Amino acid sequence: MLGEDHPDTLATRHHLAWTVADNGRSAEAELMYRKLHRTRQRVLGDDHPHTLTTRHELAWTVAQQRRWTEAADVFREVLEARRRMLGDDHPDTFATRYELAAALVHQGRRDEAEIILRALLDAQRRVLGESHAFTLATHRALEAGL
């Protein structure tokens, strides 16, 4: 047995929570992510990329439950940490910027979301190129009026 704090155990717990969320059981996945997040904070620290990934997925499950303000707050915290730890041009940072903008749209904060998405699109074009799937998704979101 590897133990509760072993990296493989933590990764398995993360994948299980993701699978539960992907099957439409967001409330159950949220509880799993919250417990995993506490463990990863203790074992790896607040700013470890794996801890931040779990926190990002936690925010996503909250968003799936239409708790947009809470989701945006958590995405904003993750974004600040990812910028500090990974930089503005990291794909994980891009993903959190996109999800934050989506949560803001659902709150009716379209102007703020548009600013985030326009800056994100510029960065994605520069780093990933015009034809990358993430760049295209951001472009489509802006074209669709958010």
- Would you state the pLDDT for residue 145? 78
Q: How do the pLDDT tens digits run along the chain, 146 residues long?
A: 788 999 999 999 999 999 999 999 999 999 999 999 999 999 999 999 999 999 999 999 999 999 999 999 999 999 999 999 999 999 999 999 999 999 999 999 999 999 999 999 999 999 999 999 999 999 999 998 77
- Would you state the pLDDT for residue 146? 72
Task: Name all domains of the chain by residue range, CATH numbers in brackets.
Answer: 1-65 (no CATH), 66-146 (1.25.40.10)
Contacts of 8 by beta carbon, 8 Å cutoff, 6+ apart = 2
- Would you state the pLDDT for residue 76? 98
Q: Which two tokens stand for residue 118?
A: 């326009």
